[in-house]
Amino acid sequence: MPNMLAVCINGKECEVEFGTTILEAARKMNIHIPTLCYHDDLCLSGICRICLVEVDGEKTLQAACSAPITRPLHIRTHTEKVRKARRNILELMLSNHYGECYTCFRNQNCELQKLAKEYGVDSLRFGHVELPRHTKDTSSRSIIRDMDKCILCRRCVRTCHDFQGVGALEAAFRGIDTEIQTFLDHPLGDAVCINCGQCINRCPTGALRERDRSDEVWNAIDDPQKIVVMQTAPAPRASIGEEFGLPPGTSITRKLNTALKMVGFDYVFDTNFAADLTIMEEGTELLTRLKDFIVDKKPVSLPMITSCSPGWVKYCEHYYPDYLPHLSTCKSPQQMFGSLIKTYFAQKIKVDPKNIMVVSLMPCVAKKYESDRPEMSASGFKDVDYALTSRELAQMIKETGIRVTDLEDSDFDSPLGLGSGAGLIFGATGGVMEAAIRTVYEIITGEEVPFENLNVIPVRGMDGIKEAEISFQKTKEDWKFLEGKTLRVAIAHGTANAKKIMDKVASGEAQWHFIEIMACPGGCLGGGGQPIPTNENIRKARAKAIYDEDSHLNIRKSHSNPQIQMLYNEFLDHPNSKKAHKLLHTTYTRRGKI
């Protein structure tokens, strides 16, 4: 029986468990307390001091976010002291915040702006910053830092350090000189940053954002010489509606297709197609590694680890360079897709690939870095020219005046527009694993996975690390060496969880054969390019939308996708063929920790 305590907030009474914070108690009682440095996903900090409340018997005001209730309390949330303190603190923040709201990409989605309005800031008694004092750090291909807008809530630091386990950002100097910096103030592009962009999703102001490529995309659309091809990933389709006022978890895939055509894209394809292709390539690679290991007793790198998440790939390059051979050599679906557009598709429509621009809609800012990697141009052309985030594309659509929510549905273009449900669920943590299991199991046994409605439940859900195993009986002739064997898999999302997994791999403690790792919490649906705000409930809603869509599709296994079969017949021969290796596989780079 937990120790319950009586709490009275603004005259309303309630019983809470010992140790509940004042903020949690207030939320339970539907009493609003403003917060800024607090974030549902992050550890407590208690530094912005916006959430101060008056507690009877305490000389000082208490930060509701971090004050645990350990005795019966009388709390008041809007006394004169509290109101004055909040006003003063907000004005202090604003006095050190440079930026004109109407030129800021966070205008109307800025927590500082919202607080200033909510708490009636009508003057700037401590002045304001008239000229910028920092140069924008534009060194990263993914993330732009504008420290003039930083209010030092350190959500980015806690995201990077604690939540993601990366540690590219830290507070430097003291007092009024305090700044958020990379190690030795190196440009972000040279830091250990993995480009996951989780910091952007948690920044309350416009201090952090993605490198905006929408102007370049507009230029391409406006250029009559260019064929502009758009591919949309599954996660943004389940979230971009939030940018247009829809509740989290509303998938607008087919309306978006219509909108994209109206915006001016010549072809709209489905990245899920490339996800299916990834499963064919990666599944085959896994089976080959298993065969090499079991039958031919060759030294192979097992467990094999997925390589779809560019944030994870860079994390591995920085922190576990010795384990790069464990990464699947497969490019991510985005890059496979780009590569095929510039070769297979260009041949089909008889257009010189130099006149084709590939733009992708991604939930991710690391995809920008990935598309700029020099090794991603096996066809002689950049696989993907521009990767846009959900936020950038939403902004482009807003600029056209198109009301997405009012549009008719339309289908993807052919022949790269058909994706299976297996490709779709790539957007959620565990999705790649589930898709792989659906296909690999059937290749080996000739039968569908032994789960109701193909739903491989053990690999789903928001647990940081998930494990599952599946054993093979009645194997087909080619796979007899797997008869009675058990495939052990693990799934991690968020690089802090990836670290736990990799430490087990490094210590030899791990018994897994195949691991799926996504850099972002919840997988791609929680990506750094997704609409702001984010929290676990929003991520769960997006996941639900994705799984619901999968369950209603006719084709739910990658190998059953007829367009994939056609692609192999017409162009690639077979999975892991020489041509497939040239176009669809890649290499990695050892990077240091500094």
Residues near other proteins, by CB under 8 A: 44-50, 52, 59-61, 63, 66-68, 70, 81, 84-85, 88-89, 92-93, 95-96, 125-126, 151-152, 170-171, 173-178
Q: What is the number of residues in the chain?
A: 594
Tokens 């910096």, located at residue: 181
524 is catalytic: yes
216 is catalytic: no
Residue (of 402, 387, 384) closest to 243 by Cα position: 402
Q: Are 317 and 592 in contact (CB under 8 A)?
A: no
Angle, helices 390-400/253-263, rounded to nearest 10 degrees: 60
Active-site position among 285, 317, 392, 434: 285
Coil, strand, or helix at residue 264? coil
CB of 21 to other proteins, least distance (A): 10
Active-site position among 375, 399, 447, 469: 375
199 is catalytic: no
549 is catalytic: no
Q: Are 412 and 257 in contact (CB under 8 A)?
A: yes
370 is catalytic: yes
Closest to other proteins by CB, 100 vs 177, is 177
CB of 124 to other proteins, least distance (A): 11
CB of 40 to other proteins, least distance (A): 17
Coil, strand, or helix at residue 562? helix
Active-site position among 45, 140, 142, 328: 328
Active-site position among 111, 317, 370, 516: 370
375 is catalytic: yes
CB of 271 to other proteins, least distance (A): 42
Closest to other proteins by CB, 58 vs 536, is 58
Three-class HEC string of 408-460: CCCCCCCCCCCCCHHHHHHHCCCHHHHHHHHHHHHHHHCCCCCCHHHCCHHHC
CB of 172 to other proteins, least distance (A): 9
What the block records as the tokens of 442 is 């059937």
65 is catalytic: no
CA atoms of 166 and 197, how far apart (whole Å): 12
What stretch of H or E contains 542?
Answer: helix 536-551
Angle, helices 333-340/271-294, rounded to nearest 10 degrees: 110
CB of 132 to other proteins, least distance (A): 18
CA atoms of 421 and 258, how far apart (whole Å): 21
Closest to other proteins by CB, 67 vs 437, is 67
CA atoms of 244 and 240, how far apart (whole Å): 7
Closest to other proteins by CB, 61 vs 532, is 61
Closest to other proteins by CB, 148 vs 550, is 148
Q: Are 353 and 384 in contact (CB under 8 A)?
A: no
What the block records as the tokens of 249 is 């978890």
CA atoms of 62 and 64, how far apart (whole Å): 6
CB of 286 to other proteins, least distance (A): 42
Return the bridge partners of 102, or none: none
CA atoms of 304 and 502, how far apart (whole Å): 12
DSSP per-residue letters across 193-206: -----HHHHH-SSS
367 is catalytic: yes
Active-site position among 367, 368, 466, 540: 367
Active-site position among 150, 203, 308, 330: 308
Active-site position among 516, 524, 540, 557: 524
Closest to other proteins by CB, 93 vs 388, is 93
CB of 126 to other proteins, least distance (A): 5
Residue (of 564, 547, 516) closest to 273 by Cα position: 564
The number of beta carbons lying within 10 Å of the beta carbon of residue 16 is 22
Closest to other proteins by CB, 120 vs 126, is 126
Active-site position among 243, 282, 392, 549: 282
Closest to other proteins by CB, 65 vs 456, is 65
Q: Provide the annotated active-site residues.
A: 282, 285, 308, 328, 367, 370, 375, 524
